[in-house]
Structure 1
Amino acid sequence: MKFTTTEDLEAPVDAVFRAVADFSVYQRMGERNGVRIERTDRLPQPAAGSSWAADFRYRGKERSAVAELEAFDPPNGLTMRVRSAGIGGVIQADLTELAASRTRIRIDMELEPQSITAKLLVQSLRLARGRAEERYRTRIHRFLREVEARLQRA
């Protein structure tokens, strides 16, 4: 199942990429929501091959996930593969410069079920596709507006 959203931001493409690729922000966001995130690679800066491990509670059970940066192409985009028990996914962010201070970002997330339980979860999302897509778009929109506001203050 694939989710896609596109947003335009009033900021230069380089600044938007740096903000989107600031993984410490995601770590802090996760920690505020009870997710323990730890970087597992030894690279000095995020690059293809960078990886993180996360532990969190979902639907009453402790879960874990691993994320690996597959592609890192400043300022054009990045691709991250995420794996958890029974389900995997790919998150891809593509940035396009529209003008010197205007950037379009497209974020795709594709879920790949790998177990019967995960297939049932994805099927339930398909049945409620409209609501799931709206939640996805809303969360991405809010995050990108925060990025835009942060960049305009700087």
Structure 2
Amino acid sequence: MKFSTREDVEAPIDYVYQQVSDFAGFERRALRHGVNISAHQGGQIDVGSSWDIAFPFRGRERRMQAKIATIDPPSGYRVDTESDGMTVVTTVDLVALSRGRTRLLVAMDLRARSLTARLLLQSMKLAKTKLTKRFKVRVLEFAEDIEDDFRRDI
């Protein structure tokens, strides 16, 4: 199952890339939402950087391992995530529309590798319209936050 969206951001591509690749900020945000996350890299994020993630979902502790598969500053990156029977590939692409405008493309591809994961994906497919709307709203809010931060930084 795939989710994807695009948003145009009123900021230069280098600034947008800096914001979408702020993995330390994503870690802090996840911790505030009750997600246990631990990084397996020194300081520099590069191909192979990885995180162990644990969070409660539907009454059980779920565990995931996320790893940066490709990174191409300032064009984007891909993160491969493995969990109990499921693979998630997240792609973030940036395209410079002009010096001060950038298109942000975010896609998530979920694939089941076990029967229980297939059942979870099947139930998600029944609610795909609602989940797609929530995904798009979250990306839109993130893009608006980037624009607001850029305006403040000028």
TM-score band w.r.t. shorter chain: over 0.9
Query: In the alignment, what sits opposite 1:8?
Result: 8
Aligned-partner Cα distance in 2 for 1:152–1:81: 32
Q: Deviations over 1:45-95 (max 9, x none)?
A: 111111111111111111111100001100001000011111111000110
TM-score, normalization by structure 2: 0.96
Could you list the runs of 5+ residues in structure 2 that have no partner in the other structure?
none
Matched with 1:126 is 125
Count of aligned pairs: 153
**Residues 1-154 of structure 1: matches in 2 within 5 Å?**
1-42=1-42, 44-154=43-153
Q: Which runs of 4+ in 1 moved over 6 A?
A: none
- Matched letter for residue 37 of structure 1: I
Structure 1: 5+ residue stretches without partners: none
Percent identical pairs in the alignment equals: 39
TM (normalized to structure 1)? 0.96
- For residues 46 and 148 of structure 1, what CA distance do their matches in structure 2 show? 24
Please give the secondary structure, in 1, of the residue aligned with 2:124: helix
Q: Could you tell me how far 1:41 is from its partner in structure 2? A: 2.8
Shift of 1:8: 0.2
